[in-house]
Amino acid sequence: MQWEVVIGLEVHTQLSTESKIFSASSTAYGAEPNTQASAVDIALPGVLPVLNRGAVERAIRLGLALGSRINRKSVFARKNYFYPDLPKGYQISQFELPVVEGGSLTIRVGEQDKVVRLTRAHLEEDAGKSVHENFQGLSGIDLNRAGTPLLEIVSEPDMRSAAEAVAYAKALHSLVTWIGICDGNMQEGSFRCDVNVSVRPLGQAEYGTRREIKNLNSFKFMEQAIKYEVQWQINEIEDGRKIQQATILFDPETGETRMMRSKEDAHDYRYFPDPDLPPLVISEAWIERVRGELPELPEAMQARLQSQYGLSAYDAVTLTSSKALAAYFEATVAAGADAKLASNWITGELAATLNRAELDITASPIAAGSLAQLVRRVMDSTINNKTAKDVLKLMWESGDAADLIIERDGLRQESDSGAIEAIIDTVLAANAAMVEEYRAGKEKAFNALVGQCMKASKGKADPAMVNELLKRKLA
């Protein structure tokens, strides 16, 4: 039997406010445990929550960026459940009337674009955290996160593979950092994903029973967890067992998912409107002000990069994977680099070097202007591509400018036809067997001879000139 995978995501984004959603407590990461939890955050008797305007504004920004409906009136509710890190016994969230509804996000998987629909995005507070280190046989409770502002972004079950789910999560991560509502730090829990996974026979309209993988904070782990869970569900069904709705965890050590608890339904939480918070009313003027402050969004910039610079859709999507990367590209072009060459160097050799060093573009030791100088030297044939890669490595290690390295190390490209002909003559004389193979019809022998010529010139010969002159001599 052929199976179809059905995936929907619930993404918890920590909003970039300095204080919590209902109190003035700090949201700074890394403070001593229980030093940032006020009486309001844990709902001691006699205190009242006061909504943080900045959290609402960030929700509006996301809704506008996704083409969603901003509800002029939304309501906060109490979501009742017991958990050790939730001392007040309920979480303030939104249920029937969220601040944001609908909208969509376009993702790119391989060469295909796909539109993923958004169900809603609602404001809520985070709970505390259970800690186990240094507590033999016990658990500690840190309430610093209690009351931290979150925007939970819920998608429709539109994704059909782990690759699509990861592409969606990456695109959403890029967007929330792009518009400045979340720092996107996954290691610190600022961007966490719950993934709902089910399978059904291909062609069946009814959804299968879903299981929710909680708190994934790595795209790599997300892909691993989904692939394992999908195969586990298929095996269970094919072995005659039924899938039970459940909340599960992914163990990166084993690469497996495991049961956390049976999954609650909404009615289990006994939602009711929070009596301490009036309905949230958002005016048209507020929405329009926020709209006017939005930056150029990734999709709009992708279209502009293609029309303005003639880039491919793939290049445009890659360069707009983060706002910082897009800014770096435009600064490189503004400094005189050809757009296509700049794109190739940024997404190719520079990206690989950054990955090896585990750095992102904001920490690159090679500034956009410096890369532009290197690209210009390729454009005017001062150096060839191979030498340029060596120069980039030296720029990274020394911080020196491309021009300084080229002149200091004598790396200018050899474009004198007489000098190159002399090199070719020497190579042909020393590789008679290769010459015979080429003349016998083996094209690979020609490439080998070109390689020998480039080696003999220490990589400095103009490759195009070598090709042209070598063909003439072998004709």
* 79 and 178 share one domain: yes
Six-digit token pair at 99? 């601040």
CA 123/CA 79 separation, integer angstroms: 12
Query: Residue 68 in contact with residue 100, Cβ under 8 Å?
Result: yes
* 101 and 218 share one domain: yes
pLDDT for 416 equals: 82
* 334 and 454 share one domain: no
In a domain, 291, yes or no: no
For each of the chain's 475 residues, which pLDDT tens digit applies?
899 999 999 999 999 999 999 999 999 999 999 999 999 999 899 999 999 999 999 999 999 999 999 999 999 999 998 888 999 999 999 999 999 999 999 998 988 899 999 999 999 999 999 888 888 888 899 999 999 999 999 999 999 999 999 999 999 999 999 999 999 999 999 999 999 999 999 999 999 999 999 999 999 999 999 999 999 999 999 999 999 999 999 999 999 998 877 766 667 889 999 999 999 999 999 999 999 999 999 999 999 999 999 999 989 999 999 999 999 999 999 999 999 999 999 999 999 999 999 999 999 999 999 999 999 999 998 999 989 999 999 999 999 999 999 999 989 888 788 888 999 999 999 998 999 888 888 888 999 999 999 889 888 888 888 988 998 888 7
Of the CA atoms within 13 Å of residue 383, those in its CB half-sphere come to 25
Query: Residue 116 in contact with residue 158, Cβ under 8 Å?
Result: yes
Closest CA to 321 of 338, 341, 343: 343
pLDDT for 475 equals: 79
In a domain, 326, yes or no: yes
The domain in which residue 278 lies consists of: 3-286
* 38 and 172 share one domain: yes
Q: What angle, rounded to 10 degrees, do the helices at 53-65 and 162-178 form?
A: 130
Q: What angle, rounded to 10 degrees, do the helices at 463-474 and 417-430 form?
A: 60
In a domain, 185, yes or no: yes
Q: Which of 367, 389, 409 is the last residue of a domain?
A: 409
In a domain, 52, yes or no: yes
Q: Which of 361, 393, 409 is the last residue of a domain?
A: 409
* 354 and 263 share one domain: no
Query: Residue 147 in contact with residue 170, Cβ under 8 Å?
Result: no
pLDDT for 137 equals: 84
pLDDT for 238 equals: 96
pLDDT for 264 equals: 66
* 271 and 377 share one domain: no
Query: Residue 90 in contact with residue 78, Cβ under 8 Å?
Result: yes
Three-state DSSP state, 457: coil
pLDDT for 86 equals: 93
* 308 and 335 share one domain: yes
* 167 and 186 share one domain: yes
Domains: count for the chain: 3
Query: Residue 310 in contact with residue 339, Cβ under 8 Å?
Result: yes
* 163 and 104 share one domain: yes
Query: Residue 299 in contact with residue 106, Cβ under 8 Å?
Result: yes
In a domain, 125, yes or no: yes
* 186 and 99 share one domain: yes
Of the CA atoms within 13 Å of residue 342, those in its CB half-sphere come to 29
* 385 and 447 share one domain: no
Query: Residue 101 in contact with residue 68, Cβ under 8 Å?
Result: yes
Closest CA to 105 of 60, 57, 63: 63
In a domain, 45, yes or no: yes
Query: Residue 151 in contact with residue 13, Cβ under 8 Å?
Result: yes
In a domain, 304, yes or no: yes
* 402 and 422 share one domain: no
CA 254/CA 250 separation, integer angstroms: 9
Specify the pTM: 0.84
Q: Which of 409, 428, 459 is the last residue of a domain?
A: 409
CA 83/CA 253 separation, integer angstroms: 26
Where residue 469 sits, what CATH number does that domain have? 1.10.10.410
Three-state DSSP state, 79: strand
